[in-house]
Amino acid sequence: MILKSETSVGGKCWGVLRFELSSSTSDTGSPLAEYEERLPPEAILPEEILDEVPVHDSEGRASYKTIYLGKSYLGKDGRVNMIEQGVAEMTQRSSNKQNVILELGEKELFVIDAVSKKLLVQHVYTEISACGRRTDALKHFAFIAGETYCSMAKEFYCHVFEATSAEEAKVILCTIAQGFDRTHLMT
């Protein structure tokens, strides 16, 4: 084990060294054991980030197997508070559930049918006005997107999904929010 540097706060390893060391260490009694039980980096909120590894893989994507419940038409209102209405509507009409792969890239997201591999939904993050979930249905999450950039869109749809767990839904929402923040800062 080679340790090149330590931070001035608490003597913790720098992020990259910690990642390299934790991936090569299988000893449960190691000083890095506290990191083995941590949440995935995409599940950590911005205010919780200290020095974490990136969300996306080497190709700039994060993929999640989830269930797509469909989309709910919202009209001209793409505000975040419309997520509650969209999720409620789609969970009541959930007869057309589809197993999908939700692929989150650097600039856009894709919803791909898990069986046929057909592209169902594609949006760049600048078309997304909000993402979130209801507090009474934590496995369900959604994003709201318009037909063009969200600041110019005249019609919005709420795309609703069901994750395997409330924790996975949080991870996915944090990943979408990162893409949203990253691309909205560029425009």
pTM value is 0.68
Q: With cut-offs at 50, 70 and 90, classify the pLDDT of residue 177.
A: confident
Q: In whole angstroms, what is the distance from residue 146 CA to residue 140 CA?
A: 20
pLDDT in tens, 98-125: 999 999 988 899 999 999 999 999 999 9
What confidence score (pLDDT) does residue 117 get?
96
| 46 pLDDT higher than 80 | no
Task: Give the number of domains in the chain.
Answer: 1
**Residue 44, domain member (yes or no):** no
- Span 82-99, average pLDDT: 90
**Residue 112, domain member (yes or no):** yes
**Residue 11, domain member (yes or no):** no
Bridge partner residues of 121 (DSSP) = 111
**Residue 100, domain member (yes or no):** yes
Q: With cut-offs at 50, 70 and 90, classify the pLDDT of residue 61.
A: confident
pLDDT in tens, 127-166: 999 999 999 999 999 999 998 887 788 899 999 999 999 9
Q: With cut-offs at 50, 70 and 90, classify the pLDDT of residue 93.
A: confident
**Residue 116, domain member (yes or no):** yes
What are the C-alpha distances in Å from 78 to residues 52, 64, 137, 141, 147? 32, 24, 20, 15, 11
**Residue 142, domain member (yes or no):** yes
What HEC string does the chain produce? CCCCCECCCCCCECHHHHHHHHHHCCCCCCCCHHHHCCCCHHHCCHHHCCCCCCCCCCCCCEEEEEEEEEEEEEECCCCCCHHHHHHHHHHHCHHHCEEEEEEECCCEEEEEECCCCCEEEEEEHHHEEEEEEECCEEEEEEEEEECCCCCCCCCEEEEEEECCCHHHHHHHHHHHHHHHHHHHHHC
- Span 71-90, average pLDDT: 92
What confidence score (pLDDT) does residue 38 get?
57
| More confident call, 3 vs 113 | 113
- Here the CATH number for the domain that contains residue 66 is 2.30.29.30
**Residue 53, domain member (yes or no):** no
Residues found in the chain: 187
pLDDT, averaged across the chain: 76
**Residue 27, domain member (yes or no):** no
Most confident residue range from 37-41, 45-49, 63-67 = 63-67
Range of 176's domain?
Answer: 62-186
